[in-house]
Amino acid sequence: MENPEQFLIWLVFIAFLGAMMFLPQWRARRRRAKQMEELRPGDKVITVGGIVGTLKLLDAEQGKARLQIASGVEIEILAAAIGRKIEES
């Protein structure tokens, strides 16, 4: 590089580009972790595949969850497959 100003401009540009790339991903991960912490057995949830059920068990350590989708019918899914909590109206 010929002069220090050019180096400084490139350094600021690379830092800005890095922040624009990683900051939204970091925020999304943080928001997703907060949603998972708020889930409790008995909550009605929808999976990313569109299955609606009542959460019966959530084991964050093993990454598994159990949903009741009908009376007497329970399925075991990955906890990461839970899309969101359904608010009762």
What pLDDT score was predicted for residue 53?
Answer: 95
R_g over Cα of the chain: 21
Cβ pair 55, 67 in contact under 8 A: yes
CB atoms within 10 A of CB 75: 14
* Topology at the third CATH level for domain 40-89: SH3 type barrels. (2.30.30)
Sorting pLDDT into bands at 50, 70 and 90, what band is 88?
Answer: confident
The structural domains of the chain, with segments of one domain joined by +, span 1-38, 40-89
Cα 48 to Cα 61: distance, rounded to the nearest angstrom: 20
Mean pLDDT throughout 40-64? 93
Cβ pair 45, 67 in contact under 8 A: yes
Interval 61-82: pLDDT, tens: 898 999 999 999 999 999 999 9
Burial readout 3-12 (b: 16 or more C-beta within 10 A, e: otherwise):
eeeeeeeeee
Nearest to 53 by CA among 34, 77, 89: 77
